[in-house]
Structure 1
Amino acid sequence: ICLCSFSSMNSTTRLDNVDDAFSKNFISCALGCTINCINGAFVYTYFKGQVFQHDPRYVLYIHLVVNDMIMLTVSVVLQILTYTTLLTFAPCCIMLLILVTTNNPLNLAGMAVERYIAVCRPLHHVHICTVQRAYALIALIWGVSFILALTDIIILLATKPLSAFSGAVLCYPTYVYNTKYHEVQSLTVQVLLFSFVFLTLIITYLNVLYTAQAASGSNQASARNARNTILLHGVQLFLCMLSFISPFLITILVTTWPRNRTNIIFTTFLFTNVLPRLLSPLIYGVRDQRFMLYFLILVLFMNIFPDKIMAFIPFRPG
């Protein structure tokens, strides 16, 4: 997710010796490659199963996974760059433009609404929640994210002299976007974004909960499962928020243990920016009965007729 914890990385690069710097970069690269391989297996499973490509729920889920892979890759690359080299403003801004942090929360809101419609408006679900509309929602999410990212660059162009863009910079957001206007814009976006997503999750959860209590039999089981899925989205939202609270966490920990500053910054980066990129897709993918069975079939049977095998396996919708 975002590199807010890199706000102190400049100090880290100056205080770490060569061995410590190599160890930290090696750990980040190893974890990043491992997590991307696991998430890549989920993406491979999605594209091997036609049943998933025709379900908007899985379209939104795989977008979540791909977005996590992109953010993790850019995050690790930027961390390595802070130890090895300085970028000019142009390539740095391009990388920060790719490192959007609003995609996942908005995607989670879309997934929660899809589950709400599937349970509370089942007769309209097939018409409202289509694959084409899922792709349109993804395009809208990326459009909003890029507009917000471009706003940071526009503020930079409006407040900085042209000579400032010719030099090299340590490429992390809080160093590049360091004006008071960026602080106000960042705080406003974070508050509005998470308030919107949180309210969406709460409203959809309460409606699904009411439907689960009123339903009976298989409908009640389906509604209860959808309610648990929305709760899971809440956990995923919390994982997304970790990167935003990491600067405050670093400040508290460094104030308490100032001698462990570099280790605190690096450890916080791993737990708030790297590991959540695995946990969020993993817990959702493992919980989904159909997706996980398909994944295991691909592994065990080496791609031998997975679609035909899946046709005989019952599943409980999420």
Structure 2
Amino acid sequence: MWMHSKFIIVQVLVVIFLCVNLLLIVTFFKNECFYTTARYILFAVTLLSDSFLFLVSDLLFILSIFQITMQVFLCGVICISLLLYLIITPVTLTAMTLERYVAICMPLRHAELCSTRNTLHVILIIHGLSSVPYAVIFIIFFASASLDFYYQYTICTVEIFTVYKWQDHVRSAVFQFYFLIMCVIIMLCYVKLMKVARTASGDDKISSSKGLRTVTLHAFQLLLCLIQFWYPLIMSILIYTNFTDLQHVRFFCYIMFNLAPRCLSPLVYGLRDEMFLHALKKCLSCGLCGL
């Protein structure tokens, strides 16, 4: 009964999040003015990566619920793509926070530093940085596992790619390094923006306060996303201590640290941003008129 409840909860959440993301993605692509603005381009990247993550993680969740097995090689391909997009969102959010810092603290250089061309370069850098942790993990795995292991059938989870206990330590070290770097960037940007908000006046003060609130929401969203970097360490401890409610912990972490942080993106930029909200209402009204 509990398994069916978990299945229904996840499917409802995934469908809702995908519908909201799809609406926001359509709004972005229907308005050319968003193509030349760094924060909207980065916002679109988070929407696309999160939508892909919803689909693939939901697929693995369904396979796990119904105990459907697959070859380890195919599971590895799926997990590599899944884990890549798992980390793209927090890295992109860090880049969006830096964009807000430049816009408020360095307004005269914002157009130059956050041009469309530079934003596309940043997206490539984001994907490159996001691939490093999992490249390390899977290179270690490929060097450790025997060839026969790839042709075995098993339920697809990330944990099957941990052959030796020391691999958990390497993975945890890489995640904690990323955790530290992104936390430091967010904290520095927040402190700088707070100083600007206190000294600004008039329209500048309103803009600074709004930017500070946006960075605060980013920080909360990043906190949830970055906590997932501790997930491998938590799971490895529970596995080696024969924790009885492992599946319940896995389900809780999946909801809280994978799905929940990504539902905040529409709130931060889809609903709070006046320009995007106006375009969203226009898109909705056109859709209703078409019906």
- TM-score of Structure 1 vs Structure 2, range by shorter chain: 0.7 to 0.9
Structure 1 CA distance for aligned equivalents of residues 30 and 187 of structure 2: 34
**Aligned-pair CA distance for 1:284:** 3.5
**Aligned-pair CA distance for 1:117:** 0.9
Change (3 A) 1:128 1:236: same
Give the unaligned 5+ runs of structure 1.
Answer: 1-18, 305-318
2:78 to 69, 82, 95: 95
Write the letter of the residue equivalent to 1:129: C
2:269 and 2:276 in contact (8 A); partners too:
no
**Aligned-pair CA distance for 1:211:** 1.8
Corresponding residue for 1:24?
6
Cα RMSD of the aligned pairs, angstroms, is 2.5
**Aligned-pair CA distance for 1:303:** 8.6
1:69 and 1:277 in contact (8 A); partners too:
no
Corresponding residue for 1:192?
177
**Aligned-pair CA distance for 1:116:** 0.9
2:99 and 2:114 in contact (8 A); partners too:
yes
Q: Aligned with 1:216: secondary structure?
A: coil
**Aligned-pair CA distance for 1:224:** 1.5
Write the letter of the residue equivalent to 2:35: Q
Matches within 5 A, 1:66-85: 66-82=48-64, 83-85=66-68
Structure 2 CA distance for aligned equivalents of residues 232 and 171 of structure 1: 34
Corresponding residue for 2:92?
107
1:232 and 1:284 in contact (8 A); partners too:
no
Corresponding residue for 1:54?
36
Change (3 A) 1:268 1:211: closer
Write the letter of the residue equivalent to 2:75: C
Structure 2 CA distance for aligned equivalents of residues 35 and 87 of structure 1: 27
After alignment, is 270-279 or 78-87 more displaced? 270-279
Corresponding residue for 1:120?
105
**Percent identity, aligned pairs only?**
26
Matches within 5 A, 1:137-156: 137-156=122-141
Change (3 A) 1:266 1:191: closer
2:15 to 27, 33, 39: 33
**Aligned-pair CA distance for 1:234:** 0.3
Corresponding residue for 1:315?
none
Structure 1 CA distance for aligned equivalents of residues 127 and 18 of structure 2: 21
2:34 and 2:40 in contact (8 A); partners too:
yes
2:214 and 2:268 in contact (8 A); partners too:
no
2:186 and 2:219 in contact (8 A); partners too:
yes
Give deviations 1:58-113, integer Å, cap 9, x for gaps.
11111111111111111111111122421212211111111123212211111111
Corresponding residue for 1:238?
223
Q: Aligned with 1:275: secondary structure?
A: helix
2:93 and 2:222 in contact (8 A); partners too:
yes
**Aligned-pair CA distance for 1:208:** 1.6
TM-score relative to the length of structure 1: 0.80
Give deviations 1:221-275, integer Å, cap 9, x for gaps.
11121111111110110221343455749989xx9x96x7655543443233223
**Aligned-pair CA distance for 1:164:** 1.7
Change (3 A) 1:195 1:242: closer
Structure 2 CA distance for aligned equivalents of residues 27 and 167 of structure 1: 31
Give the unaligned 5+ runs of structure 2.
Answer: none
Matches within 5 A, 1:163-242: 163-242=148-227
Change (3 A) 1:303 1:138: farther
Give deviations 1:195-225, integer Å, cap 9, x for gaps.
1111111111111222222222111211121
TM-score relative to the length of structure 2: 0.87
Corresponding residue for 2:121?
136
Change (3 A) 1:249 1:234: farther
1:45 and 1:294 in contact (8 A); partners too:
yes
Q: Which has the higher contact order (CA 8 A, sep 6+)?
A: 1
**Aligned-pair CA distance for 1:20:** 4.6
1:36 and 1:69 in contact (8 A); partners too:
yes
2:101 and 2:193 in contact (8 A); partners too:
yes
2:93 and 2:218 in contact (8 A); partners too:
yes
